[in-house]
Structure 1
Amino acid sequence: MLSICRLDWPPLLRAYSSGVRTSPMKNPVPATFLRGGTSKGIFLHRDNLPTDRAEWPRIFLGIMGSPDKEHGRQLNGMGGGVSSLSKICVVGPASRDQQAQGIAVEYTFVQVGIRDSSIDTSGNCGNLSSMIGVFARDEGICAPPSPGGTHMTVRSFNTNTQKIIDTTFPVADSFAALDLPEVSIAGVPGKASSILMEFVQPSGARTGKLLPSHSPLDLLEIPASSTETRTLRVSYVDATNPTVFVGSVDLCQFLAFDEYTQGSSSAAAARVSETLELIRQRGAERMGLNPAAQAQPKVAVLGAPDKEELAQGVDIVVHALSMGVLHRAVPMTVGLCVGVAANVPGTLGWEIVQQSHTARGESHGEGMVRIKHPSGVVDVGAEFSEDGTVNSAKVVRTGRRLMKGAVWW
């Protein structure tokens, strides 16, 4: 005879899953686990956290299972041992002043350290930003779409960068419909609904300037050995997230960069990683940022496409780092920054894209840029006004609801 065992949640978890508050420091805390683009993260409603933000870090560390000094796997939490899986978004309704500007929701992105206890809010995550509108609609933070509408746009304000991001996605029964087989993105299997993400006036996300050094191209001198120095051509660009761009050709002259990207040499990885971190720190100083904040600026190594890639329409090849780790897919804020930089005359990105256009016999102009990264390709675009101001940066992402419930910290 089949016996059915009824599993009962602890009273505390039942209380929080039903929205009943029994303590200002609740544990577990209501949470939603979402994939946005090529990242996954925990989304929290701001009202479910203490009003004293000084109490947030220990909650975030507990949620992610950090610090995991010995193993770096975050097995005691929801983190996955890599920076793209150790992220949190705190979302709440916009203020009255923001609502008067058409903003529906405000959010803060948190990059949680893996082996250490760092809580970094110096930048934003483009991939998880694509799901802010979806989460806000699920939680009732923003109003439902117009009756009969097939799509809705949610305007959000990111507190990290003080920037506005619009996300547009299909809806069904007043909520986001994420499982339509519309598009696929590199690094994620299968097709899903298209989420158009548009960063409004993305320049100066951290520094207040598109070109923090006031030049599209700078020279950076770094030690190549104990007795030798190298001068690198770099571009410092701040759009969606500040990024230091350096050419792969320059790096390959004194580093085994190809071995580093292929993961074939631990010795090469150690030396390249050390050099790229030095470039990031020097770039941070030049951009007026804190060199000790490892999440900002990002570092992206740019290269020209080969013949096969050119034939596929690739304009530029990118290897990007975040938190000192080479990404398997380009972080979306970095991809958008590349898209902007490629349309700014004189930058390294602009030079490479112009060369690609020439090789294919195409006219040079503004528009979409096709980026090749370790997981595939992505098209990004930027719109400029006549005076050179960046009006917006756009990209298509997909997302998926993974879990909704409560998480212990």
Structure 2
Amino acid sequence: MTQTAIPFHFFRGGTSRGPYFRREDLPEDRETLARVLVSVLGSGQALNIDGIGGGAAVTTKVAMLSLSETTDCDIDYFFAQVSVEDGKVDFKPTCGNILSGVGPAAVEMGLIAPQGDVTRVRIRSVNTGAKVEAVLRTPGGQVEYAGEAAIDGVPGTAAPIYLNFMDVVGSATGALLPTGNLRDVIDGIEVTCMDVAMPVVVARAADFGLTGCETAEELDANSGFYARMEPIRLEAGRRMGMGDVSGSVTPKFALLAPPQRGGTVTARYFMPWKCHPTMAVTGAQCLASCVLTPGTVAEGLFTPPQGVPALVLIEHPGGAIDVTVDYETGKDGFTLKSAGLLRTARLLARGEVFVPATVWKGL
């Protein structure tokens, strides 16, 4: 046999897309696994023409599922970010949009049984240790995909999937503020380095001579911005205790500006070498936490949300995303209890995807 067949489900999860696998159907060792995923997605060419990637960072993502190794969760979710063009795989971060499809995928794969009209799936992120409860509709024991929920960045409507994130503070670094400071100055730019669901370096758009309302395409064409941003991100990663991050997609980078369309704040989120066309779910949690923490670079850009839980509406290039944050502020500063978001997902295809036997001969 010249090719190896691997069973898979292909989902849109939130505003991202990619293959979902059972972990047991893939090689155990990371080096071989990375080669397989590069081949599956077609990384190494801008259009991913020899794989099922979509030629963008939001369409070269992978979810690998298994029964959880912990007693307080049902499913372990292992994420991989495959690069579009350079044949690399990053196993460090997680992805909240792809996580939107984990509950439905777990049911479709037979890893968890439907619980009635509504199924709750307790998910552990293998990459970060975060725990998330996904609530999805399963009338008649089948995942329901049609519905009335709309999310910016996805056409039409679909069945809602509610995600409740817990234990996400210090997901990668072990601390809300990994540098120990509410603000740091790097190369003359004030930044807040925060780790909630995803480590993010947050700055004000105006400090880069930007409005913060630029389109993703305009920002990606601005080579001067990236040339200024990347050294700051690298130094921030070092200060956050993450070591040399030059080859890693974390920490991410984000710009904040005053709201323009009635939201809480305007944001542009970088992955980190391209601007996200909408907003990452994990990034939204971190930015919402930054907004709610007194003394960060977000202070003064907006009117603070009232009440707890607080609804933080983040404007992004494709519309807006809302995060409901349950938190406390006191002598110990900002304490996040949980962050909730509404997402949607849809099963697009299922079957077998093939990789050359020279890449992997199979189990």
TM-score (normalizing by structure 1): 0.81
Q: Is 1:403 the counterpart of 2:349 in the alignment?
A: yes
Query: Which whole-Å deviations, capped at 9, do the CAs of 1:118-170 have from their partners, x for residues lacking one?
Result: 1101110110011111111111112321xxx3211101111111111111111
Q: Is 1:319 the counterpart of 2:286 in the alignment?
A: no
Matches within 5 A, 1:296-311: 296-306=250-260, 309=261
Distance 2:354 2:3 in 1: 9
Q: Is 1:86 the counterpart of 2:63 in the alignment?
A: no
Shift of 1:403: 0.3
Q: Percent identity?
A: 28
Question: Which residue of structure 2 lines up, in the alignment, with residue 9 of structure 1?
Answer: none
Query: Which whole-Å deviations, capped at 9, do the CAs of 1:88-132 have from their partners, x for residues lacking one?
Result: 11111112xx1x22x101021000112112110111011001111
Shift of 1:334: 0.7
Shift of 1:54: 3.2
* Greater Rg over alpha carbons, structure: 1
TM-score (normalizing by structure 2): 0.91
Secondary structure (helix, strand or coil) at the match of 1:135 reads: helix
Matches within 5 A, 1:24-103: 27-68=4-45, 72-95=46-69, 98=70, 100-101=71-72, 103=73
Query: Which of residues 303, 315, 321 is equivalent to 1:356?
Result: 303
Distance 1:215 1:54 in 2: 37
Partner amino acid, structure 1, of 2:181? S
Partner amino acid, structure 1, of 2:154? V
Secondary structure (helix, strand or coil) at the match of 1:28 reads: strand
Query: Which of residues 139, 160, 166 is equivalent to 1:172?
Result: 139
Query: Which whole-Å deviations, capped at 9, do the CAs of 1:207-249 have from their partners, x for residues lacking one?
Result: 000111112222222xxxxxxxxx2111111000000000011
Moved more, 340-349 or 123-132: 340-349
Q: Is 1:214 the counterpart of 2:180 in the alignment?
A: yes
Distance 2:336 2:28 in 1: 36
Distance 1:124 1:165 in 2: 12
CA contact 1:305–1:356 (8 Å) conserved in 2 = no
Root mean square deviation of aligned Cα = 2.1
Question: Which residue of structure 1 lines up, in the alignment, with residue 164 of structure 2?
Answer: 198
CA contact 2:253–2:272 (8 Å) conserved in 1 = no
Question: Which residue of structure 2 lines up, in the alignment, with residue 390 of structure 1?
Answer: 336
Partner amino acid, structure 2, of 1:34? F
Higher relative contact order (CA 8 A, sep 6+): 2
Distance 2:312 2:5 in 1: 44
Residue 264 and residue 195 in structure 1: after superposition, are their counterparts in 2 closer, same or farther (change >3 A)?
A: closer
Residue 392 and residue 137 in structure 1: after superposition, are their counterparts in 2 closer, same or farther (change >3 A)?
A: same
Higher-helix-fraction structure:
1
Distance 2:224 2:288 in 1: 29
Shift of 1:348: 2.1
Question: Which residue of structure 2 lines up, in the alignment, with residue 16 of structure 1?
Answer: none
CA contact 1:381–1:394 (8 Å) conserved in 2 = yes
Distance 1:259 1:187 in 2: 16
Residue 264 and residue 363 in structure 1: after superposition, are their counterparts in 2 closer, same or farther (change >3 A)?
A: closer
Distance 2:211 2:47 in 1: 26
Secondary structure (helix, strand or coil) at the match of 1:372 reads: strand
Q: Is 1:275 the counterpart of 2:231 in the alignment?
A: no
Distance 1:164 1:38 in 2: 21
CA contact 1:260–1:269 (8 Å) conserved in 2 = no
Shift of 1:262: 6.3
Residue 50 and residue 376 in structure 1: after superposition, are their counterparts in 2 closer, same or farther (change >3 A)?
A: same
Provide structure 2 residue ranges, at least 5 long, that are not aligned to the other structure: 356-363
Distance 1:93 1:50 in 2: 17
